[in-house]
Structure 1
């Protein structure tokens, strides 16, 4: 049986391991952490449960597919429920914008803030759908390692005017500065600056509208556990606390991975680690094509992330499951983070309150939170150990003086992660939160290829590869790997075919008001 080794047990690696197992491979999944999940690991402190990383589930069918590969149902393993509102935006002047629910719910909120933007939003949604139909439905799970595949898409890209950035696209349709900010933040969810990210990534907006925003009961970590159980049932070998130190090759093929505890032979190799780290640290230069060396040296990285986790003895009932807390500056703040590489005194924040949906993630009467602040990556030279406490206090004070009065008096658990931990724990180059940035010149063929640029039997998945970061992106990258690796079953199992045109959970009014399992 063809032996496959998958390096990295984030969602991309887990999905690749399952898809390769379904194709008949003998799969070993290796990770340097003590638990599965990569950035989606879990912290547990005195009854509080904190998801370390991804918290927003869109396109839940991509998870459902992984269970269906083995004729199993996701709802037998975990409950995934819709969240409303999808996001609550909190502005510096005290105004708010509840985004999500039905289309009419969103239009009602838009009319309250800026009535003249109602038609503009409908036009924006229509254009986002057109981008989605190409960028996601047609291209997200297709390989882009050949230049011809990119050339074929030039007419579509030209038609979509993909040279525009997300901010330019949004401003063509909306006049309100508040709404412009609300509908341009999507690139930040995948590591991009709205003022620099190609408008192709505006497909995220329609993706949210099509499938809504969901949450796995028990947290994202519970979803990782469900997938871990599935892997164990299907005989995937999981090897944790194992760091890969090099890849051995022979005749341009990977034959072994060397790790801190020995070596593992392989016939096929899949990498779910940061591609810049892979090519710069694990693969010999002579085993790399020029294209890989150029990308490794010159690829522009995403911003870094500062994540503050805290538990409170008080419940903040007015705080939504997902809150976007916007500071007084927008474009100039993002310029500081992405271009000037300056850690500013101010910030904008993403606040996650999972106990709004699942109270079991904190002791009774308490709340569990994490707050994420986009910051420069480590190339800025910030000495996080010297300032982390001060930065945490600034965030607590900002929230307390605006939307969470009395916060500092009821915090009982508090810790953080900085770009330094992203570098050390995840081997993310410069502590970047999302690998390389989603610019036009770092998308599709220009991104790190899913088929290795140099080693014939090495494949890549994850945030730094096509189609990009975010849960839909990394799960789709595993589908690309599945398309690329050969079938090895003597009698392939007939599996259900899947389409990105599945019925939307968000389009049914009766589903809007209930907590339901993914169907």
Structure 2
């Protein structure tokens, strides 16, 4: 008979796992506490404007291609991709910015113009980055994190120094321009850690950036959620929204045998949680939780965020689809996230203006914008602080781009620490999960398979391989593979 699986949450990792399990013949039901599918990658629609609430960057297109190929499909069967050119722009001061083009040859020219000789160093750096990318994507990141031996391969042994050196050290060996250094260090922010704490091996993110390019799905990242949902539905996956899981039921044998949803007991053979890992364990009795509160408190978490979704009554100038504002000290801001949790006095911030590329995001003649300030998880979050920081970044935007902006705001909505907790049960309101530092890599991350409760598994950004959309897709595959391996001798139709 078919094995029944309940999946908690409907983010990228849950959707990926649901597809693989359904393909294998499992009876799969996805339980989403909110009203719409997508987890953190939901969508906001207001007054003719569209916003991706969560992820806005489409990097590592090959990972998406591999996912759909596993089902005989292609991304183009579901959504249309545009390679952004320029990929993004970085501001360092008033009318002082560097635009990153969409092709590698043009990027070399940009580097050479900023610092003579730097393109030679960049080529060498990216050669290493591509090698690490190939090793990582084709092998290491698909490991389930159950043993240290997963990392012991001829390749990793030969490159062991890259796990003990850092991105910061490698970037700064040859490149001297502070602007170029910041551009090369910025991609590891997607891993949720400081460049000074991130192993040099993760320079593969620079290849993802420059080598593979920055893409945009027409209609936004939510089109990817819709595509995965359709794929899953076509294979028989059932979706239940407004389905809040209140308890994971465990029998006397220590086996997860179902969940309690909105007060109703629902039986299953397997429970897979793509929800926040810490929260999921609170659905169990204390004696069945693998990790204590002390364990979680000591972990290095990726940042939370203060986000604003803003509709403007005019088109903005001197900005790109993706625009980064690095006109203040990154290290000072980083200390307020990782060392002394607090609100930054002079925050770096990121802005997405998707309506520059995709006219479906805003009515004609208007602009849709998402602003993001990285913050420490767990800090105070009040309406007053949100308003204060909105004014800070809008005034900075006006100053840096030499244009009037604030008086053209039609509306704004915000999302911050308290919302991450309320909407996603996120530990301390973190936005991206556990940081990918050496002591939180691979088998050192929380287990995909519970060691205390049989039939209970986890997926998503708090387990392997880590934060980000492509890693979440991979996490869903890893979790489903482990489930299938666990029950391979049991009959599934």
TM-score, with normalisation over the residues of structure 1?
0.89
Aligned to 2:337: 337
Q: What are the within-5 Å matches in structure 2 for residues 239-250 of structure 1?
A: 239-250=240-251
2:368 is the counterpart of 1:368: yes
Aligned to 2:275: 273
Instruction: Give the counterpart of 2:256 among 254, 257, 274.
Output: 254
Structure 1, residues 247-298: CA drift from partner, whole Å, max 9, x if none? 112323210111224122111221111212222x122233244x67774353
Aligned to 2:423: 425
Structure 1, residues 44-65: CA drift from partner, whole Å, max 9, x if none? 1100001101011122243344
Q: Secondary structure at the match of 2:149?
A: helix
Structure 1, residues 399-450: CA drift from partner, whole Å, max 9, x if none? 1111261111211021111111111111111011112221110110101122
Aligned to 2:453: 455
Q: What are the within-5 Å matches in structure 2 for residues 386-465 of structure 1?
A: 386-403=384-401, 405-465=403-463
Deviation at 1:83, TM superposition (A): 1.1
Find the aligned partners of 2:95 and 2:373 in 1 and give their Cα distance. Answer: 20
Aligned to 2:266: 264
Contact 1:197 1:439 in 2 (8 A): yes
Seen in structure 2, the aligned counterparts of structure 1 residues 492 and 277 have a Cα distance that, compared at 3 Å, is: closer
Structure 1, residues 30-54: CA drift from partner, whole Å, max 9, x if none? 1111101111101111000011010
Deviation at 1:318, TM superposition (A): 3.0
Structure 1, residues 497-519: CA drift from partner, whole Å, max 9, x if none? xxxxxxxxxxxxxxxxxxxxxxx
Q: Secondary structure at the match of 2:173?
A: helix
Seen in structure 2, the aligned counterparts of structure 1 residues 129 and 145 have a Cα distance that, compared at 3 Å, is: same
Contact 1:5 1:266 in 2 (8 A): yes
Structure 1, residues 471-494: CA drift from partner, whole Å, max 9, x if none? 11111111211321227799999x
Q: What are the within-5 Å matches in structure 2 for residues 43-58 of structure 1?
A: 43-58=44-59
Seen in structure 2, the aligned counterparts of structure 1 residues 33 and 219 have a Cα distance that, compared at 3 Å, is: same
2:464 is the counterpart of 1:466: yes
Aligned to 2:131: 130
Aligned to 1:298: 298
Q: Secondary structure at the match of 1:416?
A: strand
Alignment coverage as a number of residue pairs: 489
Find the aligned partners of 1:310 and 1:115 in 2 and give their Cα distance. Answer: 40
Seen in structure 2, the aligned counterparts of structure 1 residues 70 and 393 have a Cα distance that, compared at 3 Å, is: same
Deviation at 1:143, TM superposition (A): 1.3
Deviation at 1:68, TM superposition (A): 3.7
Deviation at 1:187, TM superposition (A): 2.1
Aligned to 1:179: 180
Contact 2:175 2:181 in 1 (8 A): yes
Q: Secondary structure at the match of 1:215?
A: strand
Find the aligned partners of 1:467 and 1:393 in 2 and give their Cα distance. Answer: 37
Aligned to 1:486: 484
Aligned to 2:61: 60
Contact 1:242 1:261 in 2 (8 A): no
Seen in structure 2, the aligned counterparts of structure 1 residues 453 and 221 have a Cα distance that, compared at 3 Å, is: same
Find the aligned partners of 1:270 and 1:107 in 2 and give their Cα distance. Answer: 45
Find the aligned partners of 1:129 and 1:160 in 2 and give their Cα distance. Answer: 17
Structure 1, residues 113-166: CA drift from partner, whole Å, max 9, x if none? 111322221121122223223333221111111243345689538524212222
Find the aligned partners of 1:323 and 1:446 in 2 and give their Cα distance. Answer: 34
Aligned to 1:308: 308
Contact 2:245 2:262 in 1 (8 A): yes
Q: What are the within-5 Å matches in structure 2 for residues 105-254 of structure 1?
A: 105-150=106-151, 155-156=156-157, 159-250=160-251, 251-254=253-256
Contact 2:35 2:242 in 1 (8 A): yes
Seen in structure 2, the aligned counterparts of structure 1 residues 491 and 62 have a Cα distance that, compared at 3 Å, is: farther
Supply the RMSD in Å over aligned alpha carbons: 2.3
Seen in structure 2, the aligned counterparts of structure 1 residues 200 and 423 have a Cα distance that, compared at 3 Å, is: farther
Find the aligned partners of 1:117 and 1:198 in 2 and give their Cα distance. Answer: 22
Q: Which moved more, 1:182-191 or 1:235-244?
A: 182-191
Contact 1:354 1:368 in 2 (8 A): yes
Aligned to 2:100: 99
Find the aligned partners of 1:298 and 1:288 in 2 and give their Cα distance. Answer: 17
Q: Secondary structure at the match of 2:305?
A: strand
Find the aligned partners of 1:227 and 1:184 in 2 and give their Cα distance. Answer: 32
Find the aligned partners of 2:404 and 2:434 in 1 and give their Cα distance. Answer: 39
Contact 1:123 1:173 in 2 (8 A): no
Deviation at 1:77, TM superposition (A): 2.1
Find the aligned partners of 1:150 and 1:77 in 2 and give their Cα distance. Answer: 35
Q: For structure 1, list consecutive stretches of 5 or more residues without a partner in the other structure.
A: 494-519
Deviation at 1:383, TM superposition (A): 3.5
Deviation at 1:21, TM superposition (A): 0.7
Deviation at 1:300, TM superposition (A): 2.1
Find the aligned partners of 2:341 and 2:210 in 1 and give their Cα distance. Answer: 33
Q: What are the within-5 Å matches in structure 2 for residues 493-508 of structure 1?
A: none
Contact 1:86 1:99 in 2 (8 A): yes
Contact 2:67 2:473 in 1 (8 A): no
